[in-house]
Amino acid sequence: MMKNCMLALMILLAPASLKAADIWQAADDGDLKTLKSLARLGVDIKARDSHGYTPLFHAAWRGQLKVVRYLAGRKAGLEIADRYGMTPLMIAAREGHAPVVKYLLSRRARADAVDSSGRTAMIHAADNRRHSVLGTPRAREEQERLRRGDCLTVKYLLAGGGRADHRDRTGATALHYAAEVSRDDIAALLIPPLKKSPEGGEILADALVISCFTGNTRLMKRLTAEGIPLSVKASKRIRRLAGMTPLMAAARGDQIELARELLQKGADVNEWGTGRSGGKTALMAAAEENHYEMTILLLESDANAGLRDAHGKTAEDYTGKKILKRVLRDAVSGRFRRPEGFEYGMTRALFQHIRKGDSERAMKIIEQGIDPDAREDNRYSLLHAAARQGMTDVAKLLIWKGAELDARDGQRSTPLMAAAYAGHAETAELLLRNGAQADAVGPGGNTPLTYAVMQNNSVMVALLRKHGARKINWNNVPESYKEIYREK
């Protein structure tokens, strides 16, 4: 009794903004008792925070079913949207809170409502990029719970009137997002209703191309088993893959194993795509992306390197890599043969050997003739990996083979930045001696010298300054280091 009186007194004396903050926090925490007390004292249960979130929105976000039941029963605004047009149903679907989704649908929340991006609750459930791959058993258990929640959410939304063929403003459907993030379980739920939709054929064809680009072999097999032909081309609505065949998409995405599966299924290796980005062959797409192993696979599968596109270009014209130009030139003249010592999967194995610090095996693969500028999906080059691990001998061989010294990864970092950040002075000196840019500017305005100062590495700082480095992003340097490293 005393506690309730104190709470009432505090609320009455507090400013209105604090009262609203209390009810939002109670909804977040699932504290139904406090929330009821606040409502009885007149705090607005539809109050919005700076993002436009109401208490019901907060409760749906956190999966607080009891609070959602209470607020929905008091007509707290099932369809009140935030500033981006998202409703409580959408946020619950995005977070995989299936019981909340089921309840909101039972209260007649609209399954077909769209936000400012044109997305429905079903698209939010399918595009589950929030899930991170973590190694602890507890994290894996939580991730599995979320995955189950997403599937149940999609089931409830389909039963509640949600449309599997709805497209957002980019032209993508829930199936397209599921294909992109490899959610075969969600895709399996969406395919049956799409087969009955007038637009289903185009949507399924686009999903096949997307699955090939992302390397989702299981979904590719499922869609081809449903009768989607390998000759389909992505519609204009899928902009980055528009006009591409499944094999072209696999070639551009460097999906070796999936491309091999497509070829075994009878995909035409010389089939042309259509449109501005798709008007090429799979070989041209592989050459344009500088995918060495993919180029070899396609040539071994009788790809015609002499074909010219509408601009008169051959596959050789699309690549900037000397090693690929040589291979493609040999193919045109009929002299192509698999490079001596070449094996598929060498690039992946090489990255693994570098990360394990196995110089001997790494150098053996490099000597066999692999592309010295090979990269991973995040544009991380072999030289980046060697510099980060401090493998100077491997880095030296890569440079001798022609690796790009100032290659940029997906974050715009260079190999020298990787060496400076990790504190490998010997590798950094090798890069600098061979002409790496000492003052290259990378992510967040950071330079190699910035990373050296951030790590309080006086040896690296001296080395970089010796080779002319001067630029430092002082905004990212701890205060305690600024006086130490500022030049007099």
Please compute Rg for the chain using Cα positions. 28
Residue 350 is predicted with a pLDDT of 87
Q: Which uninterrupted H or E stretch holds 446?
A: none
Every domain of the chain and the residues it spans: 1-163, 346-485
Residue 343 is predicted with a pLDDT of 66
CATH superfamily label, 1-163: Ankyrin repeat-containing domain (1.25.40.20)
Nearest CA to 303 among 311, 295, 293? 295
Each residue's pLDDT tens digit, 189-232: 999 999 999 999 999 999 999 999 998 999 999 999 999 999 99
Low-confidence ranges of the chain (pLDDT < 70): 1-20, 129-146, 277-278, 340-344, 377-378, 482-488
Cα 292 versus chain centre, distance: 23
Q: Are 347 and 292 in contact (CB under 8 A)?
A: yes
DSSP code at position 169: T
Q: Are 447 and 440 in contact (CB under 8 A)?
A: yes
Residue type (1 letter), 4: N
Directed axis angle between helix 415-422 and helix 425-433, to 10°?
Answer: 150
pTM here?
0.71
Q: Are 470 and 439 in contact (CB under 8 A)?
A: yes
Q: Two tokens at 336?
A: 């192509």
Nearest CA to 87 among 78, 95, 96? 78
Contacts of 207 (CB under 8 A, 6+ apart): 175, 176, 179, 187, 219, 223
Query: Number of H helices and number of E strands within the chain?
Result: 29, 0
Q: What are phi and psi of 193, to 5 degrees?
A: -65, -30
Directed axis angle between helix 382-389 and helix 415-422, to 10°?
Answer: 20
CA angle 298/349/321 to nearest 5° reads 50
Residue 77 is predicted with a pLDDT of 75
Residue type (1 letter), 404: E
Report the CATH number of the 346-485 domain: 1.25.40.20
Residue 117 is predicted with a pLDDT of 92
Strand partners of residue 381: 375
Distance, in Å, from the CA atom of 272 to the CA atom of 295, rounded to the nearest integer, reads 16
Q: Is the dihedral of CA 66, 69, 70, 72 positive or negative?
A: positive
Q: Two tokens at 382?
A: 């072999």
Contacts of 229 (CB under 8 A, 6+ apart): none
Each residue's pLDDT tens digit, 53-78: 888 898 999 999 999 999 988 877 77
Distance, in Å, from the CA atom of 204 to the CA atom of 182, rounded to the nearest integer, reads 15
Nearest CA to 78 among 54, 52, 96, 62? 54
How far does the chain reach from its first CA to its final CA, in angstroms? 68
Residue 178 is predicted with a pLDDT of 92
Q: Among all chains, which residue has been given the structure tokens 């959408």?
A: 90
Q: Do domains 1-163 and 346-485 have the same CATH topology?
A: yes
